Amino acid sequence: SLHALAALAETRDSDTGNHLKRTQAYVELLVEALGDHPVYADQLTGEQAKSIVRAAPLHDIGKVGIPDLILNKPGKLTAEEFAIIQTHSSIGGEAIDMAISRVVDADHSPLAGDSSGLAFLVTAGIIARWHHERWDGKGYPDHLPGEAIPLPARIMAIADVYAALISPRIYKPTLSHAEAVEIILAGRGTQFDPDLVDVFNTLHERFAEIALKFSEVS
């Protein structure tokens, strides 16, 4: 049901369903590589790694709360409009938090005692709320810096930005893979977790392969 809602959210802007497939594949690639990373391996064991990959398509579910005139505006957003766009992350996080509360409160629900199901929802909420935070603390909605940003959201940030850069949008041209890689590398230690950028740099050719596999014309 949540994946259906995620797909519905994607139909409200200029992305296609392939955006969900691409970003999930990028996240899966990063999670697999980080499984052997000396800093992050112990945070990506078993169900947690699976939860991050499964939750990735829900990252922009909060877009359902953004007016169409702003979401699909072809020109540059005003400061007021951009502030409204930014609320999609908190809208998504709060909606998933509400879902968790309702599951816990519903004693008759088979999910109420299912810790793995709730773990998935918790991870989805983390990703939805904080995937636009920045390593330097200048992101949104909560201006979290560095490791205060939960790891699932830091992983999603790189996948989402790469996908956005190489995709056609009504408000910007499509960038090449090389240009997207350059932008992400330039954000090392400012926009993105530097260790994650280093991992991305070893994998970026596989990102290009995924982008081709799930291209808009496929």
Mean pLDDT value across the chain = 88
- Tell me: the pLDDT tens digits for 159-186? 999 999 998 776 677 899 999 999 999 9
175 DSSP assignment: P
- Tell me: the pLDDT tens digits for 75-85? 889 999 999 99
* pTM for the full predicted model: 0.90
**In degrees, to the nearest 5, what angle opens at C-alpha 63 toward C-alphas 61 and 64?**
85
- Beta-carbon-side half-sphere exposure of residue 83 (alpha carbons within 13 Å): 3
| Amino acid, single-letter form, for residue 210 | I
- Tell me: the pLDDT tens digits for 100-159? 888 777 756 555 555 566 788 899 999 999 999 999 999 999 999 999 999 999 999 999
**In degrees, to the nearest 5, what angle opens at C-alpha 144 toward C-alphas 73 and 17?**
40
In this prediction, residue 30 carries a pLDDT of: 97
Per the CB < 8 A criterion, the answer to whether 46 and 31 are in contact is no
- Tell me: the pLDDT tens digits for 26-74? 999 999 999 989 999 888 988 889 999 999 999 999 988 999 889 888 8
